[in-house]
Amino acid sequence: MANGSNPSGDNDNQGMSGLQRWALPALLVGLLLLFLFSGPLAPQGPEVPYTRFTGLVDKGAVQHVVVRGHQVTMTFREKQPVGARGKKVRQATTRVPLFGGDKLMDRLEKANVETTVREQRQTGWWWILLLLLVPWLFLMGMQFFQWRRMGGGAGGGGGGFGGFGGGLTQSKAKRVTREDPTTTFDDVAGQDNAKREVAEVVDFLADPERFRDVGAEAPHGMLMVGPPGTGKTLMARALAGEAGVAFYHQSASEFIEMVVGVGAARVRQAFEEARKNAPAILFIDELDSIGRMRGTGLGGGHDEREQTLNQILSEMDGFSGHEEVVVVAATNRPDVLDPALQRPGRFDRRISLELPDVKARRSILELHAEALPLAADVDIDRIARGTPGFSGADLKNLANEAAIRAAREHKKHVTYAHFDDARDSIIMGSERALSITPDEHYRLAVHESGHTAAAHFLPNADALYKVSIIPRGQALGGTHQIPEEERYTMPEDYLRDRIGVILGGRCAERIFLGTVSSGADDDIKQATRIARGMVTRWGMADDIGPMDLRQDDEQPFLGQQMAQPRQFSDTTAHQVDEAVRAFLTAAEDRVMRLIQDNREAVENLVQALEEEETLDRAGVEAHLGARPAVAAAGEADA
């Protein structure tokens, strides 16, 4: 194992002086300017009105004129400003009107001006050709400059575009970054399954002989898969740290440059470096940026991307079986990866990193809050419960944001309120000062009370966390719920109540104000999406049955949708729409009834929210009473 730190190629690039770096573009720009301001197109002195020209002739100030067709260039003497001595000789041009040209010759003769008559200026074919070539020469120059900047031709043997790859490998190109990480599994909280799988590879790297002795082949490639911020890079570093091997790190997108062939050369160079310093981990981040399915149009059939991907594949195929280099790649889009990447011998081990559950969130928070001076009221467990959907990176950010708030207020300790405020701004954005009219303020309180009442009374809804009508980010207010338990599937009655809570704001507006508003825009969108999922994906509509009727292919981690051609009839489409509408209206009717049945309590809640602007669960229960037990409410509801 080599321990010396190998600086990245960036440093090499920095070695190039600023003067050298800009010499070529400056030269090109200079040539372009020279081209524009010289030759046939160049102006010869400022243009002056014809009458001024004749005035100067009559005064005897003009010494010499050159006549070319209608254009006249004159050399004349001009008076200097007051105080200056003598007269200055200058040049100017003017155009002779179509009429009166003959009189001009008389005038010039009379004033005794030396006159030269020349052929009208013609733009030669060579000039037009040059004009057409200049932009191309400029582009080629820039391309050449870029290539030089990346190190093309350096190292002596490269020479020209043909010898490009070879030159680059030993050149000044941006090299894969080497680290010798001290990160261990202790720095990765939760993710126990992933750790178990990674531990096998640690074993191999730490003692390859043991595996070799029994004829076991080395693992070559590992694919870390999971949503952003779940610790894929952290886990790869911990793998290197635990095994005590070098860690080479490069983002896949960094392999690619504008010039075709650079990516492949960089891949070769990265593998070469890792092999030379084996045992080592070569970590390729964002693999999907180059590893997308070839020939599908995804990623645009980009030549450079495909060549780079092919190079990765062929490097991995070239492993002899006993090499102590493990290539670890990370992606949050495993669905778009080229299947060839996951063939045996390539990235055949897949390690999934999930969003942390409440227990993992607690340990991640403990890890990142360890160094903070926490106040006695900080309840890590409560914060962990209040942050479902947060990734490890989000939780790290939460701890840091809370500390920033404490520092901003010149406090010595980070309190629970700091965490709570940081959480709200991560979820919804920072508080916004908006001038809201009293009517609008009341409508907001009504709307949020509607969501809150639905969350309180509907038996299968997630428990209420807090409600607020303080504008944050894009939202004017918000009702936050938190599941009591981690939820991995969503039962039908939960989804029905979820729609009810989402539509609750609109129901309350209708009951207390008689009209609805555009404030429910996103609510309607969300509710419709859930109802559509119930009908088209989860077979929850009796009239439709267990049939997959989705039209969008939702991407697993990013929520992106790709439109698919519809594969069912108009009649079925109509039935789907009806079933979706039925789920929505049933939920709305139910919540309308609930609010009407508890009208007085909800009215009190509206008033309290108007006054206090934010209420937690206890504050809400002070007006709506304790939340009805789920079973009892379920029976009553049925």
* Catalytic residue annotation: 448
Only one residue has tokens 């010798």, namely: 180
Q: Give the separation between CA 47 and CA 33, rounded to whole angstroms.
A: 21
Residues 293-332, mask of contacts with ligand ATP (x by CB under 6 A): -------------------------------------x-x
* Per-residue tokens: 161: 């575009």
Count of residues binding ligand ATP (CB under 6 A)? 20
Question: Of 186-194, 198-206, 531-539, 571-579, which segment contacts ligand ATP by CB under 6 A?
Answer: 186-194
Give which of 545, 512, 564, 552 is closest to 528, Cα–Cα. Answer: 552
Rounded to 10°, the helix 125-149/18-36 angle is 170
Report CA-CA distances (Å) from 80 to 55, 83, 87, 89, 94. 18, 8, 6, 10, 22
Q: What are phi and psi of 481, to 5 degrees?
A: -120, 155
Closer by beta carbon to ligand ATP, 204 or else 283: 283
Q: Give the separation between CA 405 and CA 402, rounded to whole angstroms.
A: 5
Position 241 contacts ligand ATP (CB under 6 A): no
Position 364 contacts ligand ATP (CB under 6 A): yes
Position 289 contacts ligand ATP (CB under 6 A): no
Q: What are phi and psi of 283, to 5 degrees?
A: -100, 125
In the complex, minimum distance from the CB of residue 7 to ligand ATP, in angstroms, rounded to a whole number: 23
In the complex, minimum distance from the CB of residue 394 to ligand ATP, in angstroms, rounded to a whole number: 8
Contacts 24+ apart (CB under 8 A), 364-371: 364/189, 364/190, 364/392, 364/395, 364/396, 365/395, 365/398, 365/399, 366/189, 367/187, 367/189, 368/395, 368/396, 368/399, 368/400, 369/399, 369/414
Question: Of 188-196, 296-304, 486-494, 532-540, which segment contacts ligand ATP by CB under 6 A?
Answer: 188-196
Closer by beta carbon to ligand ATP, 194 or else 595: 194
Give which of 258, 250, 252 is closest to 291, Cα–Cα. Answer: 252
Residues 142-181, mask of contacts with ligand ATP (x by CB under 6 A): ----------------------------------------
In the complex, minimum distance from the CB of residue 516 to ligand ATP, in angstroms, rounded to a whole number: 40
Q: Give the separation between CA 74 and CA 41, rounded to whole angstroms.
A: 18
Question: Of 94-102, 184-192, 404-412, 509-517, which segment contacts ligand ATP by CB under 6 A?
Answer: 184-192
Closer by beta carbon to ligand ATP, 186 or else 492: 186
Binder to ligand ATP among 152, 153, 167, 229 (CB under 6 A)? 229
Q: Do residues 602 and 453 lie in contact, with contact meaning Cβ atoms separated by under 8 Å?
A: yes
Q: Quick one: which H or E segment has residue 428?
A: helix 416-428
In the complex, minimum distance from the CB of residue 288 to ligand ATP, in angstroms, rounded to a whole number: 10
The answer to whether the peptide bond before residue 279 is cis (omega within 30 degrees of 0) is yes
Residues 389-408, mask of contacts with ligand ATP (x by CB under 6 A): ---xx--x------------
Closer by beta carbon to ligand ATP, 153 or else 229: 229
Question: Of 138-146, 197-205, 223-231, 482-490, which segment contacts ligand ATP by CB under 6 A?
Answer: 223-231
Binder to ligand ATP among 62, 225, 234, 591 (CB under 6 A)? 234
Residues 407-446, mask of contacts with ligand ATP (x by CB under 6 A): ----------------------------------------
Position 189 contacts ligand ATP (CB under 6 A): yes
Q: In what order do the strands lie in the sheet with 114-118?
A: 87-95, 71-79, 62-68, 114-118
**b/e sequence 58-85, b meaning 16+ C-beta within 10 Å:** eeebbeebbbeeebbbbbbbeeeeeeee
Binder to ligand ATP among 202, 367, 501, 527 (CB under 6 A)? 367
In the complex, minimum distance from the CB of residue 331 to ligand ATP, in angstroms, rounded to a whole number: 8
Cross-strand partners of 475: 472
Rounded to 10°, the helix 232-243/192-206 angle is 30
Instruction: Give the interface with ligand ATP as residue ranges (CB under 6 A).
Output: 188-191, 226, 228-234, 285, 330, 332, 364, 367, 392-393, 396
